[in-house]
Amino acid sequence: MRSSATVKVTSAATPPHPPPLTTTTTPLTICQPPPPTPPYQRLTKALQCDPRCGHEVTIGRRIGLYRFCGDIGRGNFSKVKLAVHQLTRDKVAIKVVDLDRAGLDAKALRMLSSEIATLECVHHPNILRLFEVVETLGRVYLVTEWIRGGELYNHITQGGPLREIHAAPLLKQLLLAVKHMHSLGYVHRDIKAENVLLLSEDRLKLADFGFSTQLINGANQKLDTFCGSPPYAAPELFSDDHYIGAPVDVWALGILLYFMVVGNMPFRAPTIPGLKAAILKGDYLLPGQLSLPCIRLIQRILIHIPAQRPTIDDMLNSQFVTCPKLSADLMQWEINQHTKPVKRSIFWVRSKSHRLRKSASLRDRYAEVVKKPAISMNTRQQDEMFVQNFLQPIEMGHELLVPVSSQLKEPQSTEQAKRPTRRYMFCGSLKKKVTPMETEPEKQLANGGQSIGSAKINPWNVEVAEDCPLFKNYDAETGSCVMLPTNTEDLSQLGALEFEARQILAELGLTSEMLINARQSGPRSDIIGAYRIVVNRLQKQSWLARKHVEMALHSEPKVEKRIERSCCIL
């Protein structure tokens, strides 16, 4: 019994042989970090969850993807602030309209909606670009491009009138912008120097479309809203019950041209009734030192009867706009005709003093040598020969035919005499608009170097090679892709401008699918706002590249300046 038990114990104690080990290779799992969140998704998440962003929105330092960084200006019902788009890091200008402010009536709301509708439809290289519209319970934010140069009004009042060779290209850009508006059936009705923003010394943009309207019934549709700035108002705004929009814009362009080359207004008065009487009377003075093409263009525009004013195409074909260098050539020719050779004895003269004499302004030397008196003009003068010869070129030796003071004044009917006075709705403060600052004549613009008239390059007379490596003609594109992306995800069907813009936006987290889905929202989508900002940046870079090419083509080799002595012999 014992032996059997022991046998069982020993048999239980000896374990069986283990099965052979099989070697199996298992892949190693490497922990990879999650892909980084794109910038757009990171910003939108921060706006929803980050308490710091919520605090900035509460205290008014942020709205949407924009963060305010300064003030630009202030109006009656709005203020303009400088902001930075947090996604693209571009600076923009935001017009903040307070809807809860007392005095903001239905008329101001109509002006706001009209400005948004006009900016959304008219896109042109010389018209201010609308990026985005942000609406809250008590405010509306209009996000537009930021123009660094400021208003044309401030530049002229501080630095004096422009030289004609620099005023002509600026006027041409205004004419192209207004022509684009009129071709789409819109009229501006508030063209003035305060609404012209300078992008650079030779480029501008038209802004402030609060008084603009769309002509639904054609170009000859009669309007009855009397609006605008009094110094730029056409006579029919004061005398007629109805008016046509296009001639009103043409009259304002003529007043603006006068202000650009003279420095003050042709019609001035301390009060609105006095200004109204001066405009209806039509007497104004043209300085004699202006060139003949400039005088002829101003005379042709400032005509009392709207139907006899030139069209935008006529103004674009005028000699002052097409040949801006001719004005300086005519002035120099008249200086040479009136300058007599002076006989001197033998003396020594330094070349440096000769250069200083030649650096004086051409307009100042023209006024000193020729000494032409001011020309008295009247808007009611009608000379058929003058009107017919408006587009004929002026040659050297041509004398200006000033229309004789005619008695062809329109008789005032009894209905007009009995017509009661009515209120006029004009914008802005009267202190600034009615009596603009009288500026002194041009103060050594050639020696200043910072004024508008000191630029030496005229880009309108420059031809740039199309195959230049820096030349990308993005700035000239005015198609629908400038405001809204094309409804396709195939990048091969896009133009060069939109293709590059989509590549930049894809790196920021905005895919083509997101852009297409945001098309219906228009300017009220932050995705469309980012798209327009990137497109505008590419167009600016294109213009700057073309500008560098022009400067390189016109750069002159520097000559070492030496002070030498020369002998003048009798």
Q: Which residues are annotated as a binding site?
A: 95
What b/e readout covers 20-52, taking b as 16+ CB neighbours within 10 angstroms?
Answer: eeeeeeeeeeeeeeeeeebebeebbeebeeeee
**CA-to-CA distance for 65 and 506, rounded, in angstroms?**
17
Query: Residue 201 in contact with residue 212, Cβ under 8 Å?
Result: no
Q: How many CB atoms lie within 10 A of CB 179?
A: 17
**CA-to-CA distance for 257 and 194, rounded, in angstroms?**
13
How many Å from the N-terminal Cα to the C-terminal Cα in the chain?
Answer: 160
Q: Which residue, chain included where needed, has tokens 């108002």?
A: 233
Where does residue 270 rank: exposed (0-12), middle (13-18), buried (19+ CB within 10 A)? exposed
- What are φ and ψ of residue 566, in 5° steps? -130, 155
Cα→Cα distances 564→51, 87, 506, Å: 72, 59, 63
Residue type at position 549: V
Q: Is the dihedral of CA 166, 171, 172, 173 positive or negative?
A: positive
**CA-to-CA distance for 237 and 401, rounded, in angstroms?**
30
Query: Residue 226 in contact with residue 196, Cβ under 8 Å?
Result: no
Helix axes 245-262, 164-183, angle to 10 degrees: 170
Largest alpha-carbon pair distance within the chain?
160
DSSP bridge pairs for 134: 141
**CA-to-CA distance for 215 and 244, rounded, in angstroms?**
10
Q: Is 202 a catalytic residue?
A: no
Query: Residue 554 in contact with residue 457, Cβ under 8 Å?
Result: yes
Kind of pairing, strands 283-286 and 375-378?
antiparallel
Q: Which of 190, 208, 249, 526 is catalytic?
A: 190
Query: Residue 515 in contact with residue 529, Cβ under 8 Å?
Result: no
Q: How many CB atoms lie within 10 A of CB 149?
A: 17
Nearest to 393 by CA among 309, 329, 335: 329
Rg (CA), the chain: 34
Query: Residue 560 in contact with residue 168, Cβ under 8 Å?
Result: no
Residues annotated as catalytic (active site), given as ranges: 190
